[in-house]
Amino acid sequence: MSIRRISAIFEKDIKDLMKNAELLVMLTAPILLTLLLNRSTNGKITIPILYMVIGGIFTLVASGTIMTMMAEEKEKKTLRGLIQSPALLLDIIIGKSLVTLIGTLITLTVSLLIMGIGPLMNFRAALGLIMLFLFFLLIGISMGLFTNSLASVSVYLILLTFLFGFTPLISTLGSLDKGSIAVKIIDKFPIVQAMAIHKTSSWQPCGIMAIWVTGAAIITYVCFRKAMTDN
C-alpha cells in the first residue's frame, strides 16, 4: 500500500468525477428526490421516508459511484500496465473508496439538512448509518470487481436499489402474510434494521447490521482474490 499511489488515483478520480455527467447525475438525483418528497409531504418526514431516501443515496451514490468507476476502468482498459500486484489493486480500491466517501457525505449532508437531521442525532443511529455506508460500499466494490462493462452496472444497480435500497417498499408491494418467511427475511435486511434502531433501545439491530457488513466484506474479499487470479 502506498500513500502516493492512493493519492494519485484519488486526485485523478476527483477530476474525472467533475467531468463525468453520468456520475454527476447520480450524485444529484437523490437531492432532487429529497426536495420533491419534502414538498409533497409538507416537511413531515417520517422515519420510513427518511430511510427510503437514505437507502436511495447509499445505493446510487455509495455503491453506484464506485461500481461505475471500476467498471469504466475495466471497460476502457485504462488500468493496463498499472496493476502488477494485489497491493496495487488495493491502492486503486482505497483511492476510489475515498472519492465515494466524499461524494456520499456531500449528498447525504445536503439531503439530511433538507429533511431535518434530528432523528439521526444519536449514537446508535449514527453507527447504523456508518454500517449502512460500509455495507453498500463493499457491495459496490465486489460488484465493481465482478463486472466488466458499464452496461451491466446499471442492471446490477437496479437490482441492488430494489432489494437493499428500497427494502421497505417490498413489504408494502404484495399482500404478504405477516408471519411468512419472506417477510421475516426482509425484516432482517440492513435498511429495515436501521429503521428498527429507532423503535427499540436494544443493540440487536446494530448486531444484525454488523453481520451484514461482515458478510459483504467476505464477498468483497472473495471477489478481490478472484480478480487477482484472473489477471
Stretch that binds other proteins, among 3-11, 60-68, 171-179, 199-207 (CB under 8 A): 3-11
Residue with Cβ nearer other proteins (11 or 172): 11
- Please tell me whether residue 4 binds other proteins under the rule CB under 8 A: yes
Which residues from 68-97 bind other proteins, rule CB under 8 A? 73, 76-78, 80-82
Which residues from 154-183 bind other proteins, rule CB under 8 A? none
Q: Sign of the C-alpha dihedral, residues 178, 180, 184, 187? A: negative
- Please tell me whether residue 16 binds other proteins under the rule CB under 8 A: yes
If residue 214 lies in a helix (H) or strand (E), which one and from where to where? Answer: helix 204-230
Residue with Cβ nearer other proteins (19 or 44): 19
Query: Least separation, in Å, of the C-beta of 195 and other proteins?
Result: 39
Looking at residue 80, the DSSP 8-state letter turns out to be T
Residue with Cβ nearer other proteins (24 or 159): 24
Which residues from 17-56 bind other proteins, rule CB under 8 A? 19-20
- Please tell me whether residue 11 binds other proteins under the rule CB under 8 A: yes
Tell me the C-alpha distance between 150 and 69, whole Å: 9
Counting residues that bind other proteins (by CB under 8 A) gives 18
Query: Least separation, in Å, of the C-beta of 98 and other proteins?
Result: 15
